[in-house]
Amino acid sequence: MNKRVFLDQLEKLLQDLPKEVREDILYDYDEHFRVALEEGKREEEIAKSLGMPEEIVKEFMQGYLDEPQQNNKVNSLINNLGEIFQNFGGERKKHMIDQKEKYKVDDLKRIEIDSNSPLIKIHNFDGDEVMIHLHGEIESNFTKKIMLQTNLINGGLQISLIREIGLGFGIHREKLRLDLYLPNSYDQQLLITTTSGSVEAQELNLTEFSIDSSSGSLRLDYIRAKESRFKANSGSIKLKNYEGELEVVTHSGSIKVEAINATKATLTAKSGSIEIVKLNGEVVAETSSGSIKLESVKSLKTILKGSSGSIKINNLIGDLEGRTHSGSIKVESALTQNTYLKSISGKIQLTNFVGNLMGEVTSGSIIAEYKEFRNSINLTAVSGKIDLTLPKEAQFIINAKTTSGGIKTNFPITLTHASRRSMMGVVGNDENKINLETVSGSIKINQK
């Protein structure tokens, strides 16, 4: 079921409601789709997670109807829904919010924000006071007030929102924003916890930066911190121009980092893709369900792990370890000392490659093309071919064998052993060693 079908069915079930109530409910579910689509989810996936429209209406009314009414939902539930809203929902009111607080920056060593819905924006400016500004509007029949609360305790500024809830249910809209203005001189801790709201920040220089979001995206640019941890349970994370130690985690959402200079960067996506562009530093990236893409990375060691999804690498300098259970591994233009690649089900392909190589694949082929060769190679394919291309001036000792498949080469090899299923020999000198083995698949060693 796509978005249009889902909303049409929901609207049909709600057709006997007052127009204002119907529009509010449809608006809420349209927002569910909008946010999830921004995170890269498909319409059918979103609709399935929301449930069937009939069940949504039934569950929504379950607490307000007695047993006979529940049993006669078609005839009585829909007809009585509007009356229930009028009797118990209360009148919907609009409140404008505009609250401000200021604190001297010299008094602060730590700033903590605990928010449960508005967009949070962090700004850097030339001043000597930390300024907090909550503004926007709410339209609700049960929320009476939303108030900004700040407390200064032992050099720590605590920022939170207090909600005064009245009697009512069902109708609530808000468009709020919490702006935090930090002076250029503030370089201490910034810790943010948000239940439902996105966070945007730029041009910060901190000792520690932490964001924990239950539902909302993170957009961060020009951040410098000794250490940072960014976590989103449901939402994407985009980070650009960062310097310092870094940890990024999403449970349901993608991760994209660009222009990163990190002593160590650890990126984990439980369900979502990871994209890394222009990074210097040690990298560990892992995803349970999603692809991993790297471009222009310089690292002492890059470790990539994927359960279900492909790994693509372009322009890498440094040691590499890549593993995936179900997906291909593709490497273009890599200069490494040691590389280890493993795929249970998927092809391994390398082009314009330099470095020692160890590769294993259970179901799939291994295709490797070297730019320069003065290394050792160990490749194993259980079900699939091995196709190795080396520069014509390459020198090596080779041991190749296959259980079911042929072995071919156009290098001038001095053979020490040869049969239909195996070959041993030397090209030039034996300084570089090549071991190739397949169970079911051919082996080719090509001269470039």
pLDDT higher than 70, residue 319: yes
| Residue type for position 435 | N
For 361-389, write each residue's pLDDT tens digit. Answer: 999 999 999 999 999 999 999 999 999 99
For 172-189, write each residue's pLDDT tens digit. Answer: 677 889 999 999 999 999
Cα–Cα distance, 390 to 371 (Å, whole number): 7
Are 324 and 305 in contact, with CB atoms under 8 Å apart? yes
Cα–Cα distance, 275 to 258 (Å, whole number): 8
Q: What is the pLDDT of residue 10?
A: 82
Q: What is the pLDDT of residue 434?
A: 98
Cα–Cα distance, 248 to 232 (Å, whole number): 8
Average pLDDT over residues 124-142: 87
Residue 155: both structure tokens together: 């050099």
Q: What is the pLDDT of residue 142?
A: 52
For 97-122, write each residue's pLDDT tens digit. Answer: 999 999 999 989 999 999 987 899 99
Q: What is the pLDDT of residue 18?
A: 65
pLDDT higher than 90, residue 78: no
Spacing of C-alpha 366 from chain mean position: 29
Q: What is the pLDDT of residue 356?
A: 98
Write down the mean pLDDT value for the chain. 87
Cα–Cα distance, 43 to 50 (Å, whole number): 11
Are 345 and 365 in contact, with CB atoms under 8 Å apart? no
Phi-psi region of 154 (alpha: psi -120 to 50; beta: other; left: phi over 0): left
pLDDT-derived band of residue 249, with 50, 70 and 90 as boundaries?
Answer: very high
pLDDT higher than 60, residue 79: no
Residues above pLDDT 70, as percent of the chain? 85
Angle between the N-to-C axes of helices 53-61 and 3-13, in degrees from 0 to 180, rounded to the nearest 10: 40
Residues above pLDDT 90, as percent of the chain? 64
Which helix (H) or strand (E) segment holds residue 3: the answer is helix 3-13
Residue 311: both structure tokens together: 């790994």
